[in-house]
Structure 1
Amino acid sequence: MGAITTKGRKLHEIEHVPYEQAFLIGDLFTSNITMLAGEPKAGKTNFAAGMSAAPLKGADEFLGFPVLRLCRHIIFGLTDDGAEGELREQLHGAVPRDSVTVFPVEDTSQPGYWQGVHDDLLTLTADLVVLDNVLGALGDGEDVASSVTARNTIDKLKPISKSGTPVLAVTHTPKGKASQKGGQRCSKPVSKPPPQA
């Protein structure tokens, strides 16, 4: 017997989770783990800050999507140098005072690091955790482009979401071979339209 026979379930057999509980922001931001990926300097941090601020401010919507759950306290785990100052500039005065806690994510390869983060979150009662960014939280030898690394990262964050705290993980998209050479972004040449007669 295979996985379908032993673990497969019909749709009506799956526990019903109301739409309002499945998402923080409808069809955009789940109440489990949401991955936000993009190229470096594409504006991921700005987008994550805006998306996180909407439930803190009590907004009705974010970019046309309904805000379904409000947040009182969000925790940002930041890996980039200077990220704390940038986040402060983005959110200071835009969200309620003391509604955001920031901590540096470092030395993540130490045994028990993520368990300690999870334990702290239970004490602090956060409504959302933002990890910005996954690349800076990887251990030695881990590659952001590896499916094994992706699985390990999700496994580290899963206890946080399983305890009821949604997670937004910001990550870089891996650079392809074509984009690493001389700034080329396409893997095949773009053909020019035929000249007009």
Structure 2
Amino acid sequence: MDTLDIVIEAPIWEADPLTALATAAVRAALHHVHIDPDDCEVTLLACDDTRIAELNAEFRGKPTPTNVLSWPAQSLAPPAEGQTPPAPEAGFDGMIELGDIALSYDTCAREAVESGKPFADHLTHLIVHGVLHLLGYDHETDGDAALMEGLEVEILGNLGLDDPYNADDKITGATVAPFPKTGPNGRH
């Protein structure tokens, strides 16, 4: 599948389980919003707390670790609070470059333990969350958060996973950053 390019920067990530899980999460999120995953490109950086803190400092001015960061390739802000963002546009080659997502193993694993959830379930949620950020969804206002969280619950339910918001499991660290001129993996 060419939709997802995974760059494993921290050795603690295991390539095969991450690849299968991330592929399923990205494809499920895109299918749910009626976008053909085979027409899209997403890069996922699998890193640790040290690296994600560097990225968070560089792009958001917050020198602390977080669970997930997203760099949308296109600005897809919705027309009004709580509304669906516009669809991303394909490039000259017909492919839709969505952007980059970075995940910190350390923070993801710690949050999974703290919330009593399987690591794979929490990681799937964060990947779906990151993809939705790439598509212009956000959680800065109540209306936008309700829309985004509702989509997450539906997508995860379609994957057979529980509602992550059912037990005060808010993704407090998940953020969207301005798309860098050079992505965290140097591909853009």
TM category, shorter: under 0.3
Structure showing greater radius of gyration is 1
TM-score, length basis structure 2 = 0.27
TM-score, length basis structure 1 = 0.26
